[in-house]
Structure 1
Amino acid sequence: MKIEALGQHDAPNMAFIESEAHSHPMSEGALADCFGPLYRCSGLYRDDVLLGFAIVQQIVDEATLFDICVLPSAQGKGLGKLLLEQVIADAQNHGAQVLMLEVRASNMAAIGLYQRLGFTEIGRRKGYYPTIDGREDAVLMDLRLDTAD
């Protein structure tokens, strides 16, 4: 496994992973827009195959995990944890004091991972995400990096 910086040319592969992993995926165009000066995009590879990615936006000392996604066929093998640990280290190395994220309330696997790595729930956005049959809450979480080990 290796984690490397991604470029805008990786947006089609990222969009494929999104479409496989999420019921309401980001478009290729939206992903391609995440390669500006405020963003860092990392990809997790096995051999030369992109298995997952993370997008972080950082403004001064606040970093936001904009998206993290692993191919469903590669989930449950610790790859999301590996990628998230790299995101945390990278945010610290870039001077972030906090790493924030939001996650669907129904995504218990992701919430469990975030909690195991020290994230805490700080709020909710009621009815934020669309679902097949309505809407669900976004759980807001953060990790204080200025005190993280």
Structure 2
Amino acid sequence: MSAVLAAVVDFLPMRSDDIDAVVAAEQRIYDFPWTHGNFTDSLAAGYSAWLLQEDGRMVGYAVMMLVVDEAHLLNLSILPEAQRRGLGSRLLRHLFVIARGKGATRVLLEVRPSNACGLGLYRRFGFLTIGERRGYYQAHQGRESALVMALDL
């Protein structure tokens, strides 16, 4: 008989020392990644920023802005080799706990219509599309709109 050990998953607050590794991951994941400055500014502004580690190795990260009773999910990313294993769901659930703990009653986000994985994740959690921001994202051929989605906590 063999036993399969589950991976150890940890959520750690993102620190300025982590930004280089996060930016390197961001560049692997996206055609139009956040910059070092985007992450530095997010930490300086006091946004809730988290690393997702599996067996001590970073496999994802997220940045969320908390304002009054709303949380705005700015970035939720899982490394390509770690996708499709439920880690995005685990990270999103962690963010919900943080948001509720800070008094948020609603989560908002923008997502590219072309991001099928992201849309699927958010829809599985019950996010609803409440609007569209035309030309929001840089794209290879001009600009791409963003779907604005919301979930009541």
Structure 1 distance, partners of 2:24, 2:117, is 21
Is 2:115 the partner of 1:107? yes
CA distance in 1, matches of 2:81, 2:142: 27
Residue ranges of structure 1 left out of the alignment (5+ in a row):
none
Contact map agreement 1:52 1:70 (CA 8 A) in 2: yes
1:117-132 superposed matches below 5 A: 117-132=125-140
Deviation at 1:10, TM superposition (A): 0.8
CA deviations 1:109-136 (Å, max 9, x no partner) are 1111101111110000112211112221
Distance in 2 between residues matched to 1:62 and 1:106, nearest whole Å: 26
4+ residue runs of structure 1 moved beyond 6 angstroms? none
Partner Cα separation in structure 2 for residue 45 and residue 142 of structure 1:
27
RMSD: 1.1
| Equivalent position to 1:24, from 32, 37, 48 | 32
Equivalent in 54, 63, 67 of residue 55 of structure 1: 63
Provide the rounded CA distance (Å) in 2 between the counterparts of 1:17 and 1:37.
Answer: 22
* Alpha-carbon shift at residue 5 of structure 1 (Å): 1.2
Q: Which residues of structure 2 form unaligned runs of 5+?
A: 1-8
3-state DSSP of counterpart to 1:30: helix
1:66 corresponds to 2:67: no
Q: CA deviation at 1:48?
A: 2.0
Q: Pick from 4, 7, 14: which aligns with 2:22?
A: 14
Give the fraction of aligned pairs with identical amino acids, expressed as a percent: 36
Instruction: Figure out how many residues of one structure are paired with residues of the other and give that number.
Output: 145
Give the deviation of 1:37 after TM superposition. Answer: 4.9
- Scaled by the length of structure 2, the TM-score of the pair is 0.90
Matched, 1:82 2:129: no
1:67-118 deviations in Å (ceiling 9; x for gaps): 1111111111111111011111210111001111000110011111101111
